[in-house]
Amino acid sequence: MFTADTNLLLYSVDNEAGKKHEDAWKLVALASRSKAAVLTEQSLIEFLHASVRKRMRPLAQAAESVSKWIAVFPVIVPDSTIVERTIALLERHKLSVWDARLIATCASNECSVLLSEDMQNGASYGGVTVLNPFKSGNRPILGHLLQA
């Protein structure tokens, strides 16, 4: 399984993000047809927060996007080990607490790839590999993920 970080969701709706908007929109559209794609509740909540805070969209519009994604993608949530897993990742890696929590949620749900430009491309944390979807060298891997 693979999932998208908040930044990818934000770019997919941000018409002013240029090529990143185009690429993110296409990626989310293609991912919606893949049985291997999931979203995390954290990315959806962060999307709501960032959309409204940055005045990209009013809450109703941001909530509409989230509702559409929930209808298409399975949503994974943290389990009861989230705190311990987050702490373990923080002890081993230089991550923000929110990135560690996101990775911990992915790991506990057997989601092995996180699409994000906010962390080190190709890094592996607790069995979750971060892949920057905007790096051209990652296109073959993205293609493989999207066909699953």
pLDDT digits (tens, 9 = 90+) for 80-135: 999 999 999 999 999 999 999 999 999 999 999 999 998 999 999 989 999 999 99
Q: Which position has the token pair 């911990």?
A: 104
pLDDT digit string (tens) for 46-62? 999 999 988 778 999 99
Other Cβ atoms less than 10 A from the Cβ of 33: the count is 10
Other Cβ atoms less than 10 A from the Cβ of 82: the count is 16
Question: Which superfamily does 2-146 belong to?
Answer: 5'-nuclease (3.40.50.1010)
This model's pTM is above 0.85: yes
Q: What is the per-residue pLDDT for 71?
A: 97
